Amino acid sequence: MGKKPTTLKGLKKEYEKYEPISEDFYDRICTMMNGITETKLRDLMLQVVHINKTKTHKLKFILYTVPKGASRPRARRVGKHIQMYVPNADLMNKFFKEYLLKTFGTVHIVYTPCRIKCNYYLPIPSGMTKNEKILAEAGKIQPISKPDWDNLGKTTDMLNGTVWIDDALVVKGTVEKFYSTKPRIEIIVKYDKSFDCEYNRKAVMKSKYFKEMMKNGLIQEYHE
């Protein structure tokens, strides 16, 4: 991948580069398949079958705590250096690690493609009418106030090194806010039991996160 544009001119240049490419998915595929050999076509079809047959596994975590958005990063001086940190992040990480140990015992670290669904249940406001509270508990009325959805989603950083090697593995993620008399965080992780291609497998195996966790015995088996 190329360098990210750091100027408005760079962003405009990227736009001018990619805008002329066809919007039609099939047009782009046909262009890419020009000149493909019969052998390569057969390999392509086999890979499609492999991907379509890939099995997934599901992990579900429920934390009974009032959801709070991640704080903004702050700076602190450590000796001669400036260190960036997120207030309360360590507290949430410790809480989640204790929850994992108590609920699951050992969790094998995931290192294949993941999809995550996060539901955050906030306390029902006391100012609501009785009917509104009932509808809120039923999920018919949802929060449109802070914490923001993206700040809530950042709390999944606690899964790094505890559930998966790094959140770069996530290919799809959803965040929803609800009300409930039982505030909580529900997280569902679905991960593939094999890689979708050799390129991604090699990329993961070469990553420093995978190597560190393999060295420390945190990765026990390949999810085939």
DSSP result, 79-118: TTEEEEE-TTHHHHHHHHHHHHHHHTS--PPB-S-EEEEE
pLDDT-based confidence at residue 86 (cuts at 50, 70, 90) = low
pTM as predicted: 0.86
pLDDT of residue 223: 43
pLDDT of residue 71: 67
pLDDT of residue 115: 98
Query: pLDDT by residue (tens digit) across 103-162?
Result: 998 778 999 999 999 999 999 999 999 999 999 999 999 999 999 999 999 999 999 999
Residue found by looking up tokens 């085939």 in the block = 224
Q: Is the pLDDT of residue 202 over 60?
A: yes
Query: pLDDT by residue (tens digit) across 20-78?
Result: 999 999 999 999 999 999 999 999 999 999 999 999 999 999 999 999 987 666 666 66
pLDDT of residue 69: 84
pLDDT of residue 20: 96
Q: Is the pLDDT of residue 196 over 60?
A: yes
pLDDT of residue 108: 83
**How many whole angstroms separate alpha carbon 113 and alpha carbon 106?**
20
pLDDT of residue 174: 97
pLDDT of residue 154: 92
Q: Is the pLDDT of residue 89 over 80?
A: no
Q: What are phi and psi of 68, to 5 degrees?
A: -130, 140
Task: Please name each of the domains of the chain with its CATH number.
Answer: 9-52 (no CATH), 56-71+105-215 (3.30.1330)
* 178: Cβ contacts below 8 Å, ≥ 6 apart: 119, 120, 121, 122, 136, 139, 142, 143
pLDDT of residue 87: 63
Q: Give the pLDDT mean for 86-111.
A: 86
